[in-house]
Amino acid sequence: QVQLVESGGGLVQPGGSLRLSCRASGSILRFNSMEWYRQVPGKEREWVAIITSGGSTRYVDSVEGRFTISRDNARNTIYLEMNSLRPEDTAAYYCHATRILGGHWGQGTQVTVSS
């Protein structure tokens, strides 16, 4: 059973920064890739960033240059460093792990960007 636990969300002012963490129950090396998604109530879940097992990264255009996804294999954890936050970044952020046999979701962590 794969468990993913996100943390690090909270309330931040526009222009501020947050770092989200997603810790897996076991090695993250078994996953082909890990991703961050976000969702606003009433809207579809949006893909934000991906990091592959080889360390390649990609981002949705709206966060390119502001967000950075990274991984620490020894800690079984991935991160999402979010800088220059905007009110439109407000959402519940979810971690996802992809394997050939399927994917796994975390429970989410809320990020609110407001003055």
**Using CA atoms, how far apart are residues 75 and 111, in angstroms rounded to an integer?**
23
Residue (of 108, 1, 113) closest to 45 by Cα position: 108
Give the mean pLDDT of the chain: 97
Q: Which is it for strands 57-59 and 18-24: parallel, antiparallel or unpaired?
A: unpaired
CA distances to 1, 32, 50, 74, 106 from 90, in Å = 30, 28, 19, 30, 18
Q: What is the pLDDT of residue 101?
A: 84
Give me the pLDDT at residue 1, please.
Answer: 82
Confidence (pLDDT) at 7: 97
How do residues 13-37 score in pLDDT, each as one tens digit? 999 999 999 999 999 999 999 999 9
